[in-house]
Structure formats: C-alpha cells, structure tokens
C-alpha cells in the first residue's frame, strides 16, 4: 500500500504556494455559483482546475556544465538577437545578445535562474500591459530585472508582464546566490522572460523553438552559434 501511495504522490505535480489563494477563491466561487444554479458549478470547477494547472511547479533536471545558459521559463523562443538592455539594470550602453522566451497562459509560469551566480541588482519598473510578444513590450511593459554575476560576466534576466499578467513575483533578494535552474520568481498570467548575455556567449536556440524552464540550454560560453533548424 505504501508503494502505491508513493507512486501516486510521485505522479502528482506540486502546486506553488502562490496559487493557493487563487485556487481557494475559485473553488469557493464554484460552490457558490452551483448553489445559485447547478450548471454554473461546472463552469467554476473548470476555472478552478485551470488555476491548479497554471500554478503547477514541476521538478526539473538542470544540465550541469561550464558556461551554460539555461532557459528561465517554459515557452516559445520568440526573439534571438542583439538588443539594448533596460537602463535600470546598468549593463552598459551597448547592445547585448538577447534571448526572449514567451509564455502563454497554459505554460508553467515558474521562473528559474539562467546561470549560477550572485544577484548584484534587482530593479522593478512599473509600466503598461502590452502583448508580451511585441518587441516594444521590453521597453513599455511592467518589468522586474535581475543582474546576476556569473562565471563569465554579468547576465541580465528580465520578467516582463504581458497582456493578461498583472503581477510579477520575485522570490530572491540582492546579494543572494542562485544556482542555474533555481526558482527565483513567477508571473501571473502570461508574459515573457528576456535574457541578456555578455560577450563570449553564443545562442544555441532558434526563434520558434519550444524551451523548457530549468532544462533547455539557450546559449553556451565560447560555443559557435548553431541555430539551424528543421521544421517538419
């Protein structure tokens, strides 16, 4: 019996604690609506189930290796190319290689550190809620940026709110040490993560590729860029 229970627990995806209040509110609304009119209960139940799914926090196996940059989020690689980092991060006036990962409302929204290092700076900037896929969302939208002192220079990672997102959550603090793949925040409910790399890193992903937060290698220090893809 114990082995069966362990197997069941192992197959269940954990829910992040940030989701508990939302799940509780939707569950209460489902019961209340069902009390008013039976069919509304099922509408509320579906909404509650979606909320549970949204706040899932599955364990991830992060690749270990020198000079690796790991995807900070689940989603689609929407942009790969040079761009100016947000000025509040103080990463200099020159463009850096930027890799953007767009999260829709069905992706896991836990954010993970792209590299190991110490958090030198955290900078929050209020803003608009444009579609996070738009390039100007990097400048106009609400965002929260971290500067991580990594093995091969400073890496910037920016949480960008999207069209639906209304809250950026950051778990870490300045001067704390992060390991690559470690959870540092989340965004509710649909958004984007931008990673700004110092010189010497080459992207290993292409636009349109699906990334898995904490597992997919986005770039590598000293590697030759290889973004050749085949679409079947």
Is 191 among the catalytic positions? Answer: yes
Q: Which residue carries 């986005």 as its tokens?
A: 218
Contact in structure between 135 and 93 (CB atoms under 8 Å): no
- 44/121 Cα distance (integer angstroms): 41
From the list 225, 83, 111, 227, the residue with the least C-alpha distance to 172 is 111
Closest Cα partner for 218 from 98, 83, 105? 98
Q: Which residues contact 138 (CB under 8 A, 6 or more apart)?
A: 83, 86, 100, 158, 160, 194
Identified catalytic residue from 78, 116, 138, 191: 191
Determine the Cα–Cα distance for residues 94 and 135; give it in Å rounded to an integer.
18
User: Which structure tokens are listed for 195?
Assistant: 């990673």
- List, by residue number, the catalytic residues: 191
């Amino acid at each position: 019996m114990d082995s069966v229970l362990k197997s069941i627990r192992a197959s269940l995806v954990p829910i992040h604690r940030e989701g508990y209040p939302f799940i509780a509110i939707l569950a209460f609304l489902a019961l209340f609506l069902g009390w008013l009119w039976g069919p509304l209960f099922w509408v509320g139940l579906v909404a509650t189930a979606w909320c549970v799914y949204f706040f899932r926090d599955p364990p991830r196996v992060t690749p270990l290796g020198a000079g690796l940059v790991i995807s900070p989020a689940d989603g689609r690689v929407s942009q790969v190319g040079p761009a100016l980092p947000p000025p509040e991060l103080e990463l200099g006036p020159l463009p850096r290689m930027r890799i953007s990962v767009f999260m829709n409302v069905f992706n896991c929204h836990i954010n993970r550190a792209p590299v190991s290092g110490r958090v030198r700076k955290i900078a929050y900037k209020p803003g608009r809620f444009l579609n996070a896929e738009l390039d100007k969302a990097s400048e106009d939208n609400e965002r929260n940026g971290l500067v991580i002192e990594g093995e091969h220079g400073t890496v910037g990672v920016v949480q960008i709110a999207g069209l639906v997102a209304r809250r950026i959550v950051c778990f870490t603090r300045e001067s704390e040490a992060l390991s690559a793949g470690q959870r540092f925040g989340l965004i509710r409910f649909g958004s984007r993560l931008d990673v700004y790399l110092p010189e010497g890193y080459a992207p290993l992903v292409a636009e349109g590729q699906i990334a898995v937060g904490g597992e997919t290698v986005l770039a590598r220090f000293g590697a030759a860029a290889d973004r050749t893809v085949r679409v079947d």
